[in-house]
Amino acid sequence: MSNVLLIEDDAAIRTSLTRGLRDRGHAVSSAPAALDGLRLAVEERPDLIVLDLGLPDLDGLDLLRMLRAVSRIPVIVATARDGDTEMVRLLDAGADDYVVKPFSAAQLDARIRAVLRRTGESRTDSSVTVGGLRVDPRTREATLDGAPLDLSPKEFDLLHYLAARPGEVITKRELLTHVWQIPYGGADKTVDVHLSWLRRKLGETSSEPRYLQTIRGVGVRLAAPA
């Protein structure tokens, strides 16, 4: 069973989809507006979000960008427009998939299951341990030698992405694509600054690394200290 957050302002659609998804084994919470949905996304950490674009208090695309700034929870966007330009815009903004209105609960259920299989983002995800570093994506908590790390949302996302691939050299382009949702690069300084902040919180420097090792001209890797 997956936990789905439905952000939809139309009460009839919200009720119908909630009933249909629950009948198919999902636990469903819902919000009628963007800011309510953002609050529930942060508080409940659902497995997946279904996001309608036509919300009364905020454009759905703006909410998608806000969600991506704090979370990697998969998002399926519901839209009435099916042109290529619109779809590219949604995917570039961080959507994992989309459905075009009108659609049934059965179709949405199939999309949800496909996205969760593809992303692997669910509440059953286990924590990651590298040396004395432990990162838990379910609670978004990280500890170093048992002491909690005070990380910003983006610092946590960066640390989790690297820790889930211990010893693997990750390029800045890959980090920009998967952590910052910037698919075409062009903001390497953003990565450098966040790595610097992360090193400081891990108690290390670029000249004396413990966990974060820079491979000059290639990228960065996270590995347990020798």
Question: What digits encode the pLDDT tens for the residues 5-51?
Answer: 999 999 999 999 999 999 999 999 999 999 999 999 888 888 899 99
Residue 84 confidence (pLDDT): 74
Q: Could you tell me if 135 and 100 are in contact, meaning their C-beta atoms sit under 8 angstroms apart?
A: no
- Average pLDDT, integer, range 117-137: 76
The DSSP symbol for 226 reads -
Residue 1 has a pLDDT of: 64
CA distances from 193 to 31, 189, 198, 200 (A): 35, 6, 9, 11
Q: What are phi and psi of 163, to 5 degrees?
A: -65, -30
Q: Using alpha carbons only, give the angle 9, 121, 189 rounded to the nearest 5 degrees.
A: 90
Total-model pTM: 0.56
**CA–CA dist 221, 194 (Å, integer):** 14
**The pLDDT value given to residue 183:** 54
Instruction: Specify the higher pLDDT residue, 152 or 185.
Output: 152
Distance (Å, whole) CA 46 – CA 54: 21
State both tokens at 39.
């609050």
Averaged pLDDT score across all residues of the chain: 87
Q: The tokens of 40 are what?
A: 């529930």
% of the chain beyond a pLDDT of 70? 92
Distances (CA, A) of 115 to 39, 83, 112, 205: 23, 21, 5, 38
